[in-house]
Amino acid sequence: MIVFPNAKINIGLRVTSQRSDGYHNIETLMVPVKLADALEVTPSADGQFGFSSSGIPIDGTIDNNLCVRAFRLMQTRYGLPEVKIHLHKVIPIGAGLGGGSSDAAYTMKLLNRVFSLRLCNNDLKAMADELGSDCAFFLENRPCFASGRGEILTPIHPALSGLYILIVKPGIAVSTAWAYDHVKMSGLHLPEPAEFPYDPERWQALFENDFEKIVFETWPEIATIKTQMLNLGAVYASMSGSGSAVFGLFNHKPEYTGLFEGYFIWEGIAG
């Protein structure tokens, strides 16, 4: 069985405080986008576990891969037999697009189907929280205001219909751990879900990403991409998550030919 774990973008991201458990409290609007990996999980015919990948090379050991960790977690709890996993990686790594978290969440959802476990989203969410702060979002996989460390989700309906999205990632991978170690907490908050402004023309002034300051200081070329997005006519442009990808939302299909040569580029309809 094959599924397509998709990416997300962050419209605004405030790091509001440090938590006693070592994590940070955040506020952000997370929105799924159609940029996606491909994931296949099948019961193992020979009784041996197997993991393989294609597409963008994946760093680290197999045991640390989030798909494998998600499988081992569910195997321990529900006595699952060994499986074969193949991941075709399209979402760039170290981009702030949530690719690894999405792969883990989709692995859990796929295992639930393949083995007819009949687990509800709350059951899966309890395990997802052990794997990563963004994993729970990809179980919902709809626009949500996220708070806490990212696991408290309130569905929201931003006015994205008809907007184009352009995502650009330079050849830089920003470590999430590094970003949280260096971020300067603004102490500011995003508008509450009940007060969400639905006009995208207002978002640039209201939805800031606290990670941009330290990332832009360290890698000025990422700041340049954001400026170029706005110069192309984006109604909203921001770095996603802790970077390094930058996205722009446009009322029209942007003309960017040659502007981001050599970078990863993806475009589509935002809503």
**pLDDT tens for each residue of 212-226:** 999 999 999 999 999
Active site residue 8: yes
And the tokens for 119? 């687990």
* Nearest in space to 51 (alpha carbons), one of 39, 68, 35: 68
Active site residue 129: no
Per DSSP (E only), the strands in the chain are: 2-3, 6-18, 24-36, 38-43, 50-55, 83-89, 144-147, 152-155, 164-169, 236-239, 246-250, 264-269
And the tokens for 127? 């395990």
Tell whether omega for the bond before 102 is within 30 degrees of 0, i.e. cis.
no
pTM of the model: 0.95
Q: What is the pLDDT along the chain (271 residues), one digit of tens a residue?
A: 899 999 999 999 999 998 888 789 999 999 999 999 999 999 999 999 999 999 999 988 999 999 999 999 999 999 999 999 999 999 999 999 999 999 999 999 999 999 999 999 999 999 998 998 899 999 999 999 999 989 899 999 888 989 999 999 999 999 999 999 999 888 899 998 888 898 899 999 999 999 999 999 999 999 999 999 999 999 999 999 999 999 999 999 999 999 999 999 999 999 7
Find out whether 67 and 118 touch, Cβ atoms under 8 Å. Answer: no
Q: Give domain limits for the chain.
A: 2-155, 164-269
DSSP reduced 3-state for 260? coil
| Top-tier CATH class for 2-155 | alpha beta
Catalytic, out of 37, 89, 109, 134: 134
pLDDT per residue as tens digits for the range 145-202: 999 989 899 999 888 989 999 999 999 999 999 999 999 888 899 998 888 898 899 9
Alpha helix (H) ranges present in the chain?
66-78, 99-114, 121-131, 135-140, 176-182, 203-206, 212-218, 220-231
* Nearest in space to 217 (alpha carbons), one of 187, 174, 261: 174
Find out whether 98 and 4 touch, Cβ atoms under 8 Å. Answer: no
CATH code of domain 164-269: 3.30.70.890
